[in-house]
Amino acid sequence: MCGVIGFSGVTPCVTSIFNGLKRLEYRGYDSSGIAVMADQRISVVKSKGKLNQLEPLLASLPADACVGMGHTRWATHGAPSTENAHPHSDEGISIIHNGILENYKELKIKLLEEGVSFLSETDSEVVVHLLRAELRLVHDVRKALLNVIGKLEGAYALGVMTQHEPGVIYVVKNASPIVLGIGHNENFFASDVLALLPHTNRFIFPEDGELARIVPDGVEVWDFFGKKLDKEIVSLNQEEARADKGGYRHYMLKEIHEQPAVLANTIERLVDLEAGEVRGELTGLCKLDLAAVRKIHIVACGTAFYAGLMGRYQIESFARLPVDCELASEFRYRNPCLDRSTLVIAVTQSGETADTLACIKHAKKAGCQTFALCNVLYSSVPRESDVTLYMEAGPEIGVASTKAFTSMVLNFFLMSLELARLRGVRSPEGMERALEALRILPNQVSSLMSLEARISELAGELFESGHCLFLGRGHFYPVALEGALKLKEISYIHAEGYAAGELKHGPIALIDKNMPVIAIINTCQDFEKTLSNLEEIHAREGQLIVVGQDKDRRLEDLCRYMIPCPVSPEPALQALLNVIPLQMFAYFMALHRGTDVDQPRNLAKSVTVE
Ligand code: AGP
């Protein structure tokens, strides 16, 4: 969940490291630090809080340092504080770490017994002391590091700098993401490609169990047994993504507004509207042995899981295959029945989510076919999967996922159509309706942007509420779940998403005049049934806000506020349209409450630990 970056070159690197950290700050932002080496001496600055707290300290670092590493933290062990911020250093050794060392307690106890004193409460600091002890014995940094690695259990991406080998950075990867960047007279490492794009588009992707030595004129890689590896250098034609806010007040708002373009691009790329066909080969589904598939498991976390729930409805209704959708953190420990007849689909914006990645590895071991729906090129989940469909939504920086979610939903929709074709169960009328819905979707999404003022006004009335309930049925149930997640993660208001049919089984007890209830209701699915749920809420004085179609007079009579959405001929795309006002609602509630929209407390964009 932390971001790591490092440079070994021949030109000053402090500013580049700091700028790289800014691009990685979405991974963690409770404290940060930089260590650089000049004249064979390591200098370190660290600070609690966001990177702007670190910035004033940079002037105290040697301006001519050409080798260094930076870290932005999401606390796992020990509170966010300057002491617990990385790098951790001692006697000419400095390390940064992303991951969790599961056996750090026993290692620490042993080191304490040997008289070592610790400066932080982190798990990571044990690496510094273990390495110092090893270096006294073997006087060779790489060998010493390999000996230390032999004692570590857990997940780690490590950057290591020592005065024993000035100019050299060692990088170790085990179950935490790391990429090596290849430049001219300078080489790099970072948690992701995005951080290094201003410097290079040539990368090496180390596997778990590998160690690299980075110097200005080269990069060498070994496995943990000391065997030298010949790693492929991959050139990515990825344009340097704009990491600024493009004039918007927040990344989240920018990303909400990018949705019409992202969805239009996806349709243009994956659908030949004139021919009336999905460009099937681009989905990658034809590369699977579909004849063998009897069942699909979708695995994901958070927002991606809700997109997966929507994918389940779509695949089952179009392609007539049984689909389960499960939280990755549950699936991986449940011992599900898996074999080659199971297709496991991992959905993930970042491609680095630890639980989702573990599911794909588990599924592969069990003999399943694996498919990734992902937004980040060359991230870990695609690299572990048999086939990947990249969403191409562009970088999503706001911690609250918006454009990635709608992009996942649209990609699932297109995948379902293609699966239906490949399985020979596609109906011509169904396809016609789907194409009609796709043709009008981008304009419909654009038109939703004009709801902003209305939704901001509603948030102005509700932002002091302590709770909020979201309800929906069928395709609109995951929309309710997603609306609730968005609200709680950025406004810190307690929110619950419920299937409307579950209301009477408990949550109706919560309804009184102080409970805002946001209902997602559309004529295309279970309208009358949801309407009677809304009657029940009205009868108990709940404050009803309706998101959906505004054509029915009965709704007007019941609700206090109506957020009208365009009508899609496809329930799945109707759900996609309905979620956008809920993203805006969460955004404006957060704005009114003065919370940190893009970097909400306790969260990080990429959850690389369990
Ligand atoms: C969504 O707003 C979240 N911040 C979070 O739930 C996220 O969707 C989840 O952590 C999964 O991330 P991934 O898509 O990168 O795997």
Each domain of the chain, given as residue ranges in start order, spans 3-238, 243-426, 451-593
Average pLDDT over residues 214-229: 96
Q: How far is the CA of 179 from the centre of ligand 1 (A)?
A: 21
99-108, 480-489, 532-541: least confident range: 532-541
Average pLDDT over residues 162-187: 95
Q: How far is the CA of 470 from the centre of ligand 1 (A)?
A: 19
| Catalytic annotation, pick one of 2, 301, 359, 559 | 2
Mutate to test the pocket of ligand 1, among 388, 607, 608 (most ligand atoms within 8 A of CB): 607
Of 258, 607, 596, the closest CA to residue 402 belongs to 258
> So what's the architecture of 451-593 in CATH?
3-Layer(aba) Sandwich (3.40)
Angle at CA of residue 308, ends 442 and 582, nearest 5°: 50
Q: What is d(CA 456, CA 460) in angstroms, rounded to the nearest whole number?
A: 6
Nearest CA to ligand 1 atom 16: 348
User: Is the pLDDT assigned to residue 550 strictly greater than 70?
Assistant: no
Other Cβ atoms less than 10 A from the Cβ of 282: the count is: 15
With both helix axes pointing from N to C terminus, report the angle between 476-491 and 302-319 in degrees, rounded to the nearest 10. Answer: 170
86-95, 298-307, 546-555: least confident range: 546-555
Q: What is d(CA 452, CA 583) in angstroms, rounded to the nearest whole number?
A: 10
The per-residue DSSP string of 357-385 comes to: HHHHHHHHHTT-EEEEEESSTT-HHHHHS
User: Taking the model in full, what pTM does it have?
Assistant: 0.87
Other Cβ atoms less than 10 A from the Cβ of 299: the count is: 33
Confirm whether 254 is a catalytic residue: no
400 lines ligand 1 (CB under 6 A): yes
Q: What is the sign, positive or negative, of the torsion defined by CA atoms of 498, 503, 508, 513? A: positive
Looking at the DSSP bridge assignments, the partners of residue 6 are: 69, 189
Superfamily of segment(s) 3-238: Aminohydrolase, N-terminal nucleophile (Ntn) domain (3.60.20.10)
Q: What is the sign, positive or negative, of the torsion defined by CA atoms of 357, 362, 363, 365? A: positive
252 lines ligand 1 (CB under 6 A): no
Average pLDDT over residues 136-163: 95
Q: What is d(CA 265, CA 569) in angstroms, rounded to the nearest whole number?
A: 20
User: Is the pLDDT assigned to residue 243 strictly greater than 70?
Assistant: no
Angle at CA of residue 240, ends 238 and 243, nearest 5°: 130
CATH number, domain 243-426, options 3.40.710.10, 3.90.1570.10, 3.40.50.10490, 3.40.50.800: 3.40.50.10490
pLDDT (0 to 100) of residue 76: 82
Q: How far is the CA of 355 from the centre of ligand 1 (A)?
A: 11
User: Is the pLDDT assigned to residue 190 strictly greater than 90?
Assistant: yes
Nearest CA to ligand 1 atom 4: 400
Confirm whether 105 is a catalytic residue: no
Atom of ligand 1 nearest to the CA of 381: 16
Other Cβ atoms less than 10 A from the Cβ of 408: the count is: 28
Question: Would 3-238 and 451-593 be classified into the same CATH topology?
Answer: no
pLDDT (0 to 100) of residue 152: 96
375 lines ligand 1 (CB under 6 A): no
Average pLDDT over residues 45-57: 95
The single-letter code of the amino acid at 243 is: A
Backbone angles phi, psi at 543, to 5 degrees: -85, 105
350 lines ligand 1 (CB under 6 A): yes
Q: What is d(CA 582, CA 587) in angstroms, rounded to the nearest whole number?
A: 8
User: Is the pLDDT assigned to residue 25 strictly greater than 90?
Assistant: no
Q: What is d(CA 603, CA 26) in angstroms, rounded to the nearest whole number?
A: 9
User: Residue 451 in 3-state DSSP?
Assistant: helix
Atom of ligand 1 nearest to the CA of 399: 4
Is the distance from CB of 191 to CB of 178 less than 8 angstroms?
yes
